[in-house]
Structure formats: C-alpha cells, structure tokens
Amino acid sequence: MASRLLSITCIRQKSHGDLSPTPHYPSMTKYPRGVSSEQEKLIRGSESKALFSVIGMTCSACAASVEKAVKRLPGIKDAAVDVLNNRAQVMFYPSLVDEETIREAIEDIGFEASLIKEENSDKSTQVCRILIKGMTCSTCSTTVESALQAIPGVHKAQVALATEEAQIQYDPKIVTQGQILDVIEDTGFEAILISSGEDLSRVELKIDGMRSVNSIKIVENSLEALPGVEDIDIDPELQKFSLSYKSNMTGPRNFIQVIENTGSGRYKAKIYPEGEGGGRDAHKRQEIRQYFKYFLWSLIFTIPIFLTSMVFMYVPGIKHGLKRKVVNMLEIGALMRWILATPVQFIIGKRFYTGAYKSLKHGSANMDVLIALGTNAAYFYSVYLVLRAATSPHFEATDFFETSSMLISFILLGKYLEILAKGKTSEAIAKLMNLAPDTATLLTFDREGNVVLEEEIDSRLIQRNDVIKILPGAKVASDGTVIWGQSHVNESMITGEARPVAKRQGDTVIGGTVNENGVLHIKATHVGSESALAQIVRLVESAQMAKAPVQKFADRISKFFVPMVIALSVITWLAWFLAGKYNSYPKSWIPSSMDSFQLALQFGISVMVIACPCALGLATPTAVMVGTGVGATQGVLIKGGQALESAHKVNCIVFDKTGTLTMGKPLVVNTKLLKNMVLAEFYELIAAAEVNSEHPLGKAIVEYAKKFREDEENPAWPEARDFESITGHGVKATVRNKEIIVGNKSLMLDLNINIPLDAEEMLAEAEEMAQTGILVSIDGELAGVLAISDPLKPSAREVITILKSMNVKSIMVTGDNWGTARSIAKEVGIDTVIAEAKPEFKAEKVKELQASGHTVAMVGDGINDSPALVAADVGMAIGAGTDIAIEAADIVLMKSNLEDVITAIDLSRKTFTRIRLNYIWALGYNLLGIPIAAGVLFPSTGFRLPPWIAGAAMAASSVSVVCCSLLLRYYKRPKVLDTLEIGGITVE
C-alpha cells in the first residue's frame, strides 16, 4: 500500500526539458454530432499541435484533471500533461476547436493556462507555500492573489481563505521568495514561508553553543559540503537551521553528527521543538492569543464607556457627577468617554486602519474598509460634538463613543471565535499527522548480522535503510519492509480497513499503523515527506487548497460587494437625513438623546457594519476543508473541491468487473483437455506464455501452474518467444517451438481456430456458473478449456441495491465474455451490461452516457480502466489497484471496499447541502440584515439596529457559517452500510 500511495506525491516543478511520459492517458477524438465520414477524413488531415503553460499543478491528480478537461472537448486528438514542467501538449483539429477554447477549458478547472512557444519550455519553475495571517474575507484573498500575479516572474498564485495559505509558482531567476513575502506584507498581511519545494525532505534543527557570526558560518559551510544537502535557511535569533535534503543520500542524524563534531563538542544540535518559533500550528495559536489579548484590552476600555453612556445615566447620584461641566457645555462623562475610546480606536483598532489603507492602495475594498469607515464616522462625529460643546455655552449633544468602541470590541470577539472555529476545520489533518509515533527504537548490527545496540531516538531522526524494532502494541515508526518477525498490523487509521493485516518477512508496513502481537524488525524505505502518511496529508492539504467551482460565485460577488455596501450606507444616511430635514416623518420618531442627523448617521453606520462578505467567502472553503478531512479519516481520499462537487451530482456509475465487483483474485477451478497430453506439461506451456502478462487471469493461471512444481517456490518457465498481448482478448507466444494462444472465444474465431462442440458446451457451462472460460490453442488446434472463478465481493449486491435507492443507475463494463458478464451482473442486480470491451471502448461508453445527460462516475482498479477514469465526471479508484488508476482518479477508495462508493457520494451530497445552507444563511443574512439596519422596520415598529449590535451580528454571521461547516465533523456514513458483512467481519 505504501508504494501505491507514493504515486500521489506532490513534487516541486523543475525544468526537465521534454514532456515526461507520465501521467499520460489514452484519448479518443470526439466529433460533433452530424459530422459525416468524409468530413471526418478532412478534419483528420488538418491536425495541429499547441503547447500550453499550465500553472497551479502540484501532483499527478492535477495533471489528470487538466488532461480530463482537455480531452472532453470536441476535436482533441491527444493531450499529454507534464506536472514537472507545468506544460500541456495538445494535438487537436483546428476546424473543431481552437487554442483559446483549450486554454479556457484548463482555466475553468482552476489552473492558469497560456499558449507558449517550444523555445520557451526551458524556463524553470518552483513552487512555495506561504502562510498568510490577517485575511478576513474573499476580497482579501483576491487582493493578495492580484498583487502576487502582478509580480514579474510569478506564473500562478493561488490563495485559500479557509486555510490562510498561498501556493505560488514562480521563476527563481526572476523573483525570489523574499520579494514574494515583501509583496504580501505590502498588501497588509503577515507572510510566513511554510515550504519551498516538496520533492525534498526538510528538517529543522536547534543548535546551542553558537556565540558568533563566524561560528554560524562554519556550521553552515560544514553542512553545505555534505552530499544531498540542497538548501539551508538560518534564523540566528532562534538558533534554527532549516535544511532541505535528498533522503536517499543523507539524513538528520548525519547533520547532528557533523554539527557536534565541527565544534569539538561545543555545539549541541537537536530536532527543533514543535510549536516553538515556527509551524502553522504555532502561528495559529499565536494568532488566537493575539486576538484574545486585543479583545480583553478593548473590553477594559469599552465597559466603562458603556456604563457611563447606557447605565449610569439612569442612576441619580452618579448621573449628577457625570453631568458636571468641565468647560462650557462639555460634561465629565463625555470627556471620560473620549479619553477611553481613543486607545480603542487608534491603538487596538490600528489593524483595521492598516488593512483598509493597504486594501484601498491596491484598488480593492475589504471588511477592514467597512469597519474603519463605520467606526471613524461614529468616533469623529462624537469628537466634533465634544469640541463644539467645549466651545459653546448653549450647545448640548449626545456622543457616539460607545458605538465605535463597542463595534471594535464585538468584531474582535467575532474574529477570535472565527479563528477558533476555523482551526477545528483542519483537525482531520492534525489527527493524521499525530499518528506518527514520537520515538523509535533504532537497531545497530555487527558484521555477522547480530544486534549490538538498541537506541531510542526521535522518530524524525529516522533515515532511509535504518532498521527499526517495533514492539507489540507500538506504532510503526516509518514506512518500510519487514526483514524479521511475524505479526498482525492494524492499518485502519491509514486505510480505514478494520481487519488486522498479517505481516511477515518481505511485506511492507505503513508508518503510523499499530503492531498488534509479534515483534517486527523493519527496514525504513520511505521517511519524512516521502512516507505514505505524509503523502496522504499532502494530498488532503492540496485538496483543501483547490477551489470548488461553486466558489466562483462568492468570488464574483465579493468584487463589488464592499463598494455596493458603502454606497447603500451613504444612500441610507442621506435618505434619513433629508427626510428629517424636510419633516417627512414625525419628530416623535427621533429618540430624546439625539437629533435627526444623528439618527440618520446611526442608520448609515449600521448598514455599513452589518454587511460583510466574510460569511460568503467562508461558505465553500470551510465545508470543503471539513468534507475532505472527514473523507480521509473514512478511507476516502477526495482530490479537491472539483471532485467533491462533481460527486454529489452523480446519477450513473460504471463499474469495472475484475477487482472491483469481484475480489480481483481469480482462481483456476476446472480444466478440461481436448487432446491427450500430461496436465503438468499443458500448464507449463501456457504458464510460460502468461508469465509475461499483467492481466489478473494470466496471473491466476501462472499461480495454478506452480502447483505442478511443488518443490519450487519460483519455478523457471520455458522461454517464450514472439510474445504478444492482445488487449481484451488474450496472449500469443512461441514456447518450445509450439505456437501457444491463450484467450477468449473471440480471439480464437479471429485467428480462424476451430472450436469443437464439446468446448462450446464447456464454455457455456462455465459462464452459467459465473466463471470465465479460457481457451488454449497449441499449434492452431484447440487443446483445452480452463474455468476461472473470481468470487464476488461480499457486499457487491447490497451496494448496488443501495445505489438504486439513491436514484443512481449502475452499469457494468468488462473485457470478459458476455456469458460470464451477464451471470455476474444478474448476481449483483445490475441490468445494463457491456462485455468484451476494450479499454478505449469503456471510455467511449462513459462519454455516451455523459452525452445522454448523465453525470457519470467510473469505478475501476486497473491500467485498462484509466482512460475511463479520466473520461468520467468522477473517477473512483479502488485503493488496492494500480498506480496509474490511482493517479487518474478523482477519488481514491483506500479500503478497496465497494461500500465506500456510497460513502463518497453520500459525503459529497452532505457537504454540498452544507455549502447551500451556508450560502442561504450568508446571503439571507445580508438580504434581511441590510434593510433592517437601514431602518425599514422603524416607521412601523419603532425597532432600529444600533451600530454595535449590527457589528455583533456581522461577526456572528461568519462564526455561524464556520460552525455550520464544522457540523460535518460528525458525519456518519449511511447506517445501512453498518450491517454489511465484509470478509466475515461486521464493520462497526
């Protein structure tokens, strides 16, 4: 499993020249309806080639998405996507499609595409991930994206609001990471580099004992000289060295040894303690503490302001003291409120001024602009009233200092609660990361292979090829291979599979899983960022960075939302002010503590602060974050918002048969010879032909043939010459000067090999029993018939029944013969069957279903399924399948259970129900809140919304949207799945 998971590695893009051969998936040219055969010939004669720069791809899943999007267009002959060099090469027919249409198709799935010339393909590209602190709404993320895109040398910038991260593709020859960080800082946000390049392992070391710049330089030079060290980043203040290195050449223990030897014992190095001075979690905790501190300080000043303006004015003794005059009509109470409100406005509220200034500087307007305008209006109007009272012997007025200070306090409280809630959206990733044990037992051997030393080390110090001892009940410290011992390992925390898996010498183990009974010695094969656990975490993180198509709706609204709100607030103030000036409403409507201008101003400020795009911007990404995280814990890896959105629309599922509906472990159950020969000799000939085949049926034949050589574990078969694999039919080879053909009935008929009546009867009998009949020809004459059985997965029938109840149509497409296919389909309850299908025909069938209006999911496990997985709206790969299938798929079912098809669809439906609820709430809140804040209820009911309550409501809207998304954490798969039996055990 570990090696399979490693196929989804996200790697830094570097220049490698030509397009890499993988991933590449077959393509079928699609012509518009009504195109005649003559027109097809003309079209085929005018093909063109275009090379696109595609920015934003981070892994094979991205490449598969791009390739899928391009190949769905009419007139595409072929497309190859190179994730390493950010390139897509497309062969197309200009009369049916043009470069701009292809470019738009790539951009529609979330990547930036531009047409480039071949000579520019040597431009190197790197990727870095940056944590951005202080973003409040989708306007903020859009502002940062625009600023980054404007930097020369930056090819693509993707900013995720929910994760508060940016992923930037850039040319290091033109722009540096430092310049990128400076630009983000200039937009008003704090930027912290998380990683730069994901194909390298990275470790952070704390070094004590370095007292001068010279000693730091000596250590740096010593480390740079080591083979495999790629990059060193030093923070002298924290005494922290961050090293990027190639794990197959060196490792952290080597670094520590070199450091300590360099200083003759003066320097001491250790892994940098988690949570100190770096890491996303540390910054998140710091941000939470910071907001809480701001809120507390704001509260200290705001409570006295609130009491003097709202409470003490009704307490006779205190009221008299507050009403005492200082200068002219200036009262002690007003002066106190001014003094207390000023630090809240300009010190605690400084962040809003900074954010608003930098947002406006870059031509956009965000939440900070609304808050700054609203609080400034209340504060400076109150200052005007105070100064006027101080200079006038007759003027009396009521100030609004409590409005500005309470508004800032409630917004800070809302941001504090929002950050707390957002932190919980990524708990699934935190849980996955915490699966790795803290320590490991490292074994040292002598030349004879005897253990001479057992040493407990930090698990982050494990290097490739280390031998680690795993005790019963302990977690496996690293991905590796068992070299000694036997045990059962519980892999449910990684794969979701409940049953413990037997492990013995030669078997692979996954880091983070639990050893149940025996002692194991494992040799570490994948460490640090290469481990299966790290790959899963990275895939989930990448999925959470990707925007779902539905999020475009919120992004479009946020562009004009803030200017529209400012205009509405000005119109509201003006309408109420003019209505008061021209006596359009009774004087009795005006509260005794204010005049018509002040009433109008309060309505205007309320409109300004109640409407904010924060909730709208968080509606989709928070739900996608929680949904993909929950999916990972359920053993369903969803590769981003696009896959999640498509899955909830699925109404038709195409199933492969072998390894998907069936166990994928076929066995030879019967053999009938049609000519006189020794059975062992018969199997020796066909095993020699089939040993080169990757097909499961071929492997079953070879395994069965081994039984005739009980004394040999890996027998040497006779040499097979002129081997040919005929896709979907069988194999041909020459063995011992005899032409051996092993395959299905159609292959024999194509090669004009006569099939006797008794062979036909044997085939029919096998097919009736849902077995696959294989014919064997020797020198052009039929020599035998094999019956191969591949038992159904225990829950296959129940899964199909449940899908029917969910209004999802099921279809089976297989390369097997019609008789066996119909028997299997009848057994599981599938009505529509397509048999003897070649790989490209599976993809064509998917496209036909799409053309008829279905949203199609393809579930498969083999190389021959990858074209269909790419063509489908949602490709689901069985986790035990091949690397190419896993790479081509949008969703990986880690447990290899069919029930997870239902889990994936149900989870996506629940997630999108939550997104719709979020949008309804966010939009409904603004549609209701703005008119109420503008005073539409005031004439009839006397109800008005004070600005500070409007600010509290605005803060509460964002918190409520995040909390609504957080309810997905309690997702439970459909109860009907809990009763299904899997391999003899019930899944609880």
Summarised one tens digit per residue, pLDDT across range 99-116 is 888 988 888 887 888 887
Q: Report pLDDT digits (tens) over 681-731.
A: 898 889 888 887 777 788 888 888 888 876 666 778 888 888 888 877 888
What's the order of all strands across the beta sheet hosting 479-484?
451-458, 439-445, 467-470, 520-526, 479-484, 508-509
What is the average pLDDT across 594-619? Answer: 81
Confidence of residue 303 (pLDDT cuts 50, 70, 90): very high
- Give dist(CA 111, CA 244) in Å, integer: 28
What's the order of all strands across the beta sheet hosting 856-860?
636-638, 891-893, 874-878, 856-860, 652-655, 809-813, 832-834
Is 873 catalytic? The answer is no
107-to-25, 70, 117, 554 alpha-carbon distances in Å? 20, 10, 19, 17
Residue type present at position 251: G
Confidence of residue 599 (pLDDT cuts 50, 70, 90): confident
Query: Which pLDDT value is given to residue 40?
Result: 52
Q: Tell me which H or E stretch contains 860.
A: strand 856-860
CB 511 within 8 Å of CB 6: no
Name the DSSP class of 311.
Answer: I
CB 52 within 8 Å of CB 113: yes
Angle made by CA atoms 678, 679, 685, in degrees to the nearest 5: 95
CB 177 within 8 Å of CB 197: no
Question: Is it the case that residue 17 has pLDDT exceeding 50?
Answer: no
CATH node for 440-530: 2.70.150.10
Q: Pairing between strand 772-778 and 781-789?
A: antiparallel
- Give dist(CA 549, CA 620) in Å, integer: 10
Angle made by CA atoms 540, 541, 542, in degrees to the nearest 5: 90
CATH of 667-789, one of 2.60.40.10, 3.40.50.300, 3.30.70.260, 3.40.1110.10: 3.40.1110.10
Q: Report pLDDT digits (tens) over 887-917.
A: 667 888 877 778 888 999 999 999 989 988 9
Higher pLDDT, 20 or 668: 668
| Domain residue ranges of the chain, discontinuous segments joined by + | 46-116, 126-279, 284-432, 440-530, 549-623+909-970, 636-662+792-907, 667-789
Choosing from 78, 82, 479, 656, which is the catalytic residue? 656
CB 3 within 8 Å of CB 508: yes
210-to-217, 254, 261, 585, 975 alpha-carbon distances in Å? 10, 19, 13, 77, 60
Give the contacts of 662 (CB within 8 A, at least 6 positions apart).
Answer: 790, 791, 792, 793, 796, 824
Question: Is it the case that residue 296 has pLDDT exceeding 90?
Answer: yes
The structural architecture, per CATH, of the domain 126-279 is 2-Layer Sandwich (3.30)
**The model's pTM:** 0.65
Q: Report pLDDT digits (tens) over 783-811.
A: 899 998 888 887 888 889 899 988 999 99
- Give dist(CA 614, CA 367) in Å, integer: 7
CB 290 within 8 Å of CB 415: no
Q: Report pLDDT digits (tens) over 366-402.
A: 778 888 888 888 888 889 888 988 888 887 777 778 8
Domain boundaries 46-116, CATH class? alpha beta
Query: Which pLDDT value is given to residue 576?
Result: 92
- Give dist(CA 691, CA 705) in Å, integer: 10
Question: Is it the case that residue 344 has pLDDT exceeding 90?
Answer: yes
Closest by alpha carbon to 162, among 541, 695, 450? 541
Reduced to 3 states (helix: H, G, I; strand: E, B; else coil), residue 266 is coil
437-to-253, 440, 462, 900 alpha-carbon distances in Å? 18, 7, 12, 28
Lowest mean pLDDT among 214-223, 307-316, 527-536, 957-966: 527-536
For all residues of the chain together, what is the average pLDDT? 79
- State the angle between helix axes of 947-966 and 614-633 in degrees (0 to 180), rounded to the nearest 10: 20
CATH topology identical between 46-116 and 126-279: yes
CB 500 within 8 Å of CB 516: yes
CB 584 within 8 Å of CB 916: no
Give the contacts of 927 (CB within 8 A, at least 6 positions apart).
Answer: none
Question: Is it the case that residue 497 has pLDDT exceeding 80?
Answer: no
- Give dist(CA 897, CA 341) in Å, integer: 62
863-to-848, 859, 869, 895 alpha-carbon distances in Å? 21, 12, 10, 19
Query: Which pLDDT value is given to residue 724?
Result: 83
Angle made by CA atoms 610, 612, 614, in degrees to the nearest 5: 135
Query: Which stretch, 17-21, 498-502, 710-714, has highest mean pLDDT?
Result: 498-502
Tokens for 257? 């040894």
Rg (CA), the chain: 34
The CA-based dihedral angle spanning residues 91, 93, 96, 102, taken in that order and rounded to the nearest 10 degrees: 20
- Give dist(CA 263, CA 777) in Å, integer: 75
227-to-269, 466, 720 alpha-carbon distances in Å? 19, 18, 45
Fold assignment, 636-662+792-907: Rossmann fold (3.40.50)
Query: Which pLDDT value is given to residue 881?
Result: 53
Angle made by CA atoms 980, 981, 985, in degrees to the nearest 5: 135
Q: Report pLDDT digits (tens) over 160-186.
A: 777 778 888 888 788 888 888 888 888
What is the average pLDDT across 750-764? Answer: 87
Closest by alpha carbon to 892, among 683, 636, 696? 636
The residues with which 891 forms a beta bridge, in sequence order, are 638, 876
Phi, psi of 288 (to 5 degrees): -65, -45
Question: Is it the case that residue 264 has pLDDT exceeding 60?
Answer: yes
- Give dist(CA 926, CA 110) in Å, integer: 28
- Give dist(CA 649, CA 556) in Å, integer: 23
Question: Is it the case that residue 587 has pLDDT exceeding 60?
Answer: yes
Burial class (CB in 10 A: 0-12, 13-18, 19+), 446: exposed
Handedness of CA 697, 698, 702, 703 (dihedral sign): negative
Question: Is it the case that residue 223 has pLDDT exceeding 70?
Answer: yes
CB 785 within 8 Å of CB 672: yes
Closest by alpha carbon to 840, among 22, 24, 25? 25
Residue with tokens 């078997």: 507
Q: Pairing between strand 667-673 and 652-655?
A: unpaired
